[in-house]
């Protein structure tokens, strides 16, 4: 839980209360502790808060301090931040948003994100080049087909064309990839965010406009898309509590099935997913769990159970690049960045390009290829 001010200022979203919690409650308890003991400091804050979901002090206050501690520790040691965050030195595969739908766009497209995912490229620099070229090719294709207004962008920089069927979005992206000649290097991914189009009264999914599907029908629907397009990853294909459907699609497909709303970077929920084989990858969002220590706990569970970890941005982002260093240092292997457009997204691409340049020959790229 974030703590917001709830006043007229900034439409209720001000954070003066959260800052006051840092200055008046958190700081007095932390001053004098060893800044290199991240786990102890994070646990002190968790104890002070005393709630299950950090609703007293606010996850925004706690996480801000947690990340500041990590940065301070790196500076004291004379290290780059990524070197102080696990030290794995693994450049991640970027999952790049190209078309937005759902709550991120306000369009007729109910699924939330359609992504391009590099696989068979040599390094992060080549991946970024391929993604940028494909993104701008896609812009030209959409504009030629639907007009200039169709290349407006959503929350994460993806385009918002007037389409309602996922297959239409995937076709547009496939054409852009083909036009640039990247069919062997670039693949497709979906973040369905299915909790947003699940109808609890009907216990059905409003997958396309007025088309509703039962759970089993939606499994078949995804399998058809996988057969028709080079899809290598689907995030939140079902409602966050539809465990049986998650289990079914994970068992019946060979692609990456990612839990975001399903897992919320929560170690307890990740362990449940591992035990019940609900998915095979976790979306890692530090501000979803609230401290860096708990973030690493989630990643550790993934590693031990051969789950993939994907470090992720949020739809409401800043230009802070912490997650870029976290992806490299933790060795997660994948990072969800948004489109190669808009400063709050390109800041992460640029940081990763600089890290790769600094690592030179020491840089290793990505996890096992899709």
Q: What positions carry a catalytic annotation?
A: 156, 285
DSSP secondary structure of 54-68:
-TTT-HHHHHHHHHH
DSSP assignment letter at 333: E
Beta strand residue intervals within 183-306, DSSP E: 186-191, 198-199, 204-208, 211-213, 231-235, 256-259, 281-284
To which residue do tokens 């802070």 refer? 320
CB 277: neighbour CB atoms within 10 A? 12
Angle at 138 between CA 120 and CA 364, to 5 degrees: 25
DSSP assignment letter at 23: I
Q: Which two tokens stand for residue 262?
A: 């399903």
Environment class of 128 (CB within 10 Å of its CB; exposed 0-12, middle 13-18, buried 19+): buried
**Under a CB-based contact definition with an 8 Å cutoff, are residues 292 and 84 in contact?**
no
User: What residues contact 343, with CB distance under 8 A and at least 6 apart?
Assistant: 319
DSSP secondary structure of 249-287:
HHHH--SEEEESTTTTT-HHHHHHHHHHT--SEEEE-HH
Environment class of 181 (CB within 10 Å of its CB; exposed 0-12, middle 13-18, buried 19+): exposed
């Amino acid at each position: 839980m974030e703590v917001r001010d709830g006043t007229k200022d900034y439409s209720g979203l001000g954070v003066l209360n959260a800052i006051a919690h840092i200055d008046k409650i958190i700081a007095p308890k932390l001053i004098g502790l060893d800044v290199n003991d991240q786990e102890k400091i994070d646990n002190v804050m968790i104890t002070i808060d005393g709630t299950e979901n950090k609703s007293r002090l606010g996850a925004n206050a706690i996480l801000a301090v947690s990340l500041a501690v990590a940065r301070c520790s790196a500076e004291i040691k004379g290290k780059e931040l990524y070197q102080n965050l696990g030290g794995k030195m693994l450049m991640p595969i970027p999952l790049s948003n190209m078309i937005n739908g759902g709550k991120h766009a306000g369009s007729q497209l109910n699924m939330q994100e359609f992504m391009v995912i590099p696989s068979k490229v040599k390094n992060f620099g080549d991946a970024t080049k391929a993604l940028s070229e494909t993104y701008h090719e896609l812009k030209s294709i959409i504009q030629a087909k639907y007009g200039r207004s169709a290349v407006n962008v959503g929350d994460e920089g993806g385009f918002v064309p007037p389409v309602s069927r996922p297959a239409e979005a995937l076709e547009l992206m496939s054409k852009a990839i083909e036009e640039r000649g990247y069919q062997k290097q670039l693949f497709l991914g979906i973040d369905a965010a299915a909790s947003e189009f699940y109808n609890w009264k009907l216990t059905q999914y409003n997958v396309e406009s007025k088309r509703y599907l039962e759970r089993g029908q939606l499994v078949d629907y995804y399998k058809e898309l996988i057969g028709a397009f080079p899809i290598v990853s689907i995030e939140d294909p079902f409602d966050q509590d539809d465990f049986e459907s998650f289990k079914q699609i994970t068992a019946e497909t060979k692609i990456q099935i990612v839990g975001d709303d399903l897992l919320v970077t929560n170690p307890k929920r990740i362990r449940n997913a591992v035990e019940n084989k609900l998915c095979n990858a976790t979306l890692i969002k530090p501000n979803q769990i609230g401290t860096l220590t708990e973030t690493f706990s989630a990643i550790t569970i993934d590693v031990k159970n051969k789950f993939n970890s994907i470090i992720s941005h949020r739809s409401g982002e800043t230009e802070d690049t912490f997650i870029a260093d976290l992806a490299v240092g933790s060795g997660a292997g994948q990072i969800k960045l948004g489109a190669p457009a808009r400063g709050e997204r390109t800041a992460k691409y640029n940081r990763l390009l600089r890290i790769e340049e600094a690592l030179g020959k020491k840089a290793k790229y990505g996890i096992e290829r899709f």
